[in-house]
Structure 1
Amino acid sequence: MNNKSIAFHSDFQRRAQEELFCLWKRGIDFLGSRFAILGGAMSWVSERNLVSAISNAGGFGVLACGAMEPYLLEKEIVATQALTNKPFGVNLITMHPKIDELIEVCLNLKINHIVLAGGIPTGSSIKRIKDGGSKVIAFAPALVLAKRLIKFGVDALVIEGTEAGGHIGPVSLTVLAQEILPVIKEVPVFVAGGLGRGEAILSYLELGASGAQLGTSFAACLESQAHENFKKSFIYASARDAVVSLQIDEAFPVIPVRALSNKATKAFMSHQAAVIKRFNNNEISKEEAQLSIEHFWAGALRKAVKDGDVENGSVMAGQSVGMVKQILPVKEIIEILVKQAESALVARYKRLSD
């Protein structure tokens, strides 16, 4: 490479850094982080160590409250604050029976960003959080809901495609982004679901997103406290291994969850069939049958994440799992994503200059 080529490359690199910063500046300003990259809140995975590592690396960690009692959430927030002085958020499940107490815990501990997930948040919850001085982030699986949430007063939205891991909606991120990003301008919108490379993040930023949320990429990182078996299952998996739990009878609905196919996935189908057969034979009531189906996965995520039973547990992962090739530190994962986005911009500049 001659001196002129080196100068051009250096100029392109500087331009790429500046352009990327401009593209996600709204997200950076909103989150208060160096990069507009959120860590998806994953139960049993997104705890103090991973959350603080993401924030310390320039991203925005999000603590997963899940089914925690208020006193446990308080303990986890305090422990996270001891590990980082950078901003991080807390994800609360709207259907939690003690949601009001959990909100108070977050407000008392000066959490500036509260993510409301697992259902449509109530206007009263949103108002309480905003009155307490914190920002509200909510999930919008459709344009009509995005508009409604903005009227309720949310400060930012996450649009998550069906490619994501864990509990999912029915629409892909590609479609959601085209439906929502050109329309919603009032608040920052972060994209999620199936994201594993910086070029993909860049493409959504150019469509109008303010940043991106990733879960699967961080679940198997070095700082993740998940069992080594859990992490290794990500390394060995391909995109097609991350499947959605299916229901065999619409009379007994199943909440769709994306996880790696294993013995438990197959056993769940057999369990549904056996339970429905017992119902049809008048051996159990419909309520008993539904509860039996719902309880099949009770404790299954913990079994995989903490105990390392990746055959009989639930190994929740998004379709981007096929891009997880190594167990890397969070800092390196974020640096790779940013470099990939910048390199895509540099390549564009070079094409246009030829």
Structure 2
Amino acid sequence: MLLDRFFDKGRQFLGCRYPIMCGAMTWVSEPELVSHMGRCGGFGLLAGGNAPVDVLENQIKKTRSLSSDPFGVNLITIAPAYQDQLDMVCGMGCDVIVFAGSIPKENEIQRAKDSGARVICFAPTEQLALKLVKMGTDALVLEGSEAGGHIGPVSLTVLIQQILFVVDSVPIFVAGGIATGRMMAHLLMMGAAGIQMGTRFVMSEECAVHPDFKESFRRAKARDAVATPQFDSRLPVIPVRALKNVGTDEFGKLQLSLIRKLEDQTIDRTEAQYEVERFWMGALRNAVVDGDMKNGSLMAGQSVGLADKILPLQDIFDELINDAEAEMQRLAKCFSEI
């Protein structure tokens, strides 16, 4: 396959057949989905999120019991249990540690590497990408604002031009708005080591979210996945992209309430930010686990408009690979005729 030569860098880094990662989604990226990703030849990520250390440790153990395929653990650097999670994950000798949420400290990257893990960091801007490379990250993920859940400020098309076309010292994976093999082919030819998707994999049979959650995705259009606003710089919040519902309106009300408390000095900024995260984690559980489509958080990327079928995970992989190879063959034929 022509595709093989473009897979090589990502394959070597991740240690799997296809450099296709399933993004870490809290309450979604459970051991079962992560292990199924490995069996299909991809690379799954457990979501650390706000999980207590013992819960995350048990998830790692369970994933290892389900499959011998490599997988990674995603840690949110602003989570309350982050430092304890990092200690535990380093002690367990995980294959890959992904730092998300904000920029990790240089010594934290080094601790992860000293444990034997390969380190991946998210780069939302050009300056941070270059800084993270200097700090020692082994690879980068460029996640455009088209993605679901917590998002950065810049679209993938711009990040590609700012970072992917400039930085060649580490493998770079791309994410945000990706749902088809044809798109994957073009991203690989641009220099990406691989891709990361989340929304598309929610629509797999193996993803154990509430059926109503999947049905909401199936009916949604790309424009339905909207990003939350920030009302006041005194309460800096990372935007969240989700399907608009009562829950997104409630988040707006929460922000206004927290801003008033900051003005009254009845809460400090750190606690206010934790309140924001607690809201999203609880709202996400309400939707994913309990099926509350009205008040829960329906975190989804704009690629939700392309994910309109629930399929076995293997079928999704087959479609991605076949369509990507067909696109490369088509382009090869076009160039041969010039």
User: TM-score when scaled to structure 1?
Assistant: 0.88
2:187 pairs, out of 193, 204, 207, with: 204
1:261 pairs, out of 244, 253, 268, with: 244
SS at match of 1:287: coil
- Partner AA of 1:318 in structure 2: G
Is the Cα contact below 8 Å between 2:152 and 2:238 reproduced in 1? no
5 Å matches for 1:1-354? 17=1, 19-270=2-253, 272=255, 284-285=264-265, 287=267, 291=272, 294=276, 296-297=279-280, 299-352=282-335
SS at match of 1:229: helix
Q: Distance in 2 between matches of 1:70 and 1:326?
A: 35
Tell me the alpha carbon deviations over residues 280-313 of structure 1, each in whole angstroms, 9 at most, x when there is no partner: 9x8x547379839736545101111111001101
Is the Cα contact below 8 Å between 1:220 and 1:230 reproduced in 2? no
Is the Cα contact below 8 Å between 1:165 and 1:259 reproduced in 2? yes
My pick for the range that moved more, 286-295 or 323-332, is 286-295
- Partner AA of 2:322 in structure 1: K
My pick for the range that moved more, 67-76 or 91-100, is 91-100
Tell me the alpha carbon deviations over residues 42-81 of structure 1, each in whole angstroms, 9 at most, x when there is no partner: 0000010111111110000011011112211111011111
Q: Distance in 2 between matches of 1:315 and 1:135?
A: 31
Distance apart, 1:201 and its partner CA:
1.3
Over 3 Å counting, the alpha-carbon distance change for 1:353 and 1:188 in structure 2 is closer
Is the Cα contact below 8 Å between 1:220 and 1:226 reproduced in 2? no
Tell me the alpha carbon deviations over residues 148-198 of structure 1, each in whole angstroms, 9 at most, x when there is no partner: 111111111101000000001110000001111121111100000000111
- What are the ranges of 5 or more consecutive residues in structure 2 without an aligned counterpart? none
- Partner AA of 1:233 in structure 2: S
Distance apart, 1:199 and its partner CA:
1.4
Distance apart, 1:352 and its partner CA:
4.1
Q: Which has the larger radius of gyration?
A: 1
Let me know the Cα RMSD of the aligned residues: 2.2
- Partner AA of 1:212 in structure 2: I
**4+ residue runs over 6 A deviation:** none
Over 3 Å counting, the alpha-carbon distance change for 1:352 and 1:297 in structure 2 is closer
- Partner AA of 2:267 in structure 1: E
Q: Distance in 1 between matches of 2:154 and 2:72?
A: 26
Q: Distance in 2 between matches of 1:296 and 1:67?
A: 12
SS at match of 1:41: coil
Is the Cα contact below 8 Å between 1:56 and 1:84 reproduced in 2? yes
Count, aligned residues? 334
Over 3 Å counting, the alpha-carbon distance change for 1:48 and 1:144 in structure 2 is same
SS at match of 1:24: helix
My pick for the range that moved more, 190-199 or 258-267, is 258-267
Over 3 Å counting, the alpha-carbon distance change for 1:275 and 1:167 in structure 2 is closer
- What are the ranges of 5 or more consecutive residues in structure 1 without an aligned counterpart? 1-16
User: TM-score when scaled to structure 2?
Assistant: 0.92
Equivalence for 1:10: none
SS at match of 1:85: coil
My pick for the range that moved more, 31-40 or 86-95, is 86-95
Is the Cα contact below 8 Å between 2:50 and 2:81 reproduced in 1? no
- Partner AA of 2:49 in structure 1: G
Q: Percent identity?
A: 47
Tell me the alpha carbon deviations over residues 207-260 of structure 1, each in whole angstroms, 9 at most, x when there is no partner: 111000001111221111111111111101010000001234444444310000
- Partner AA of 1:267 in structure 2: E
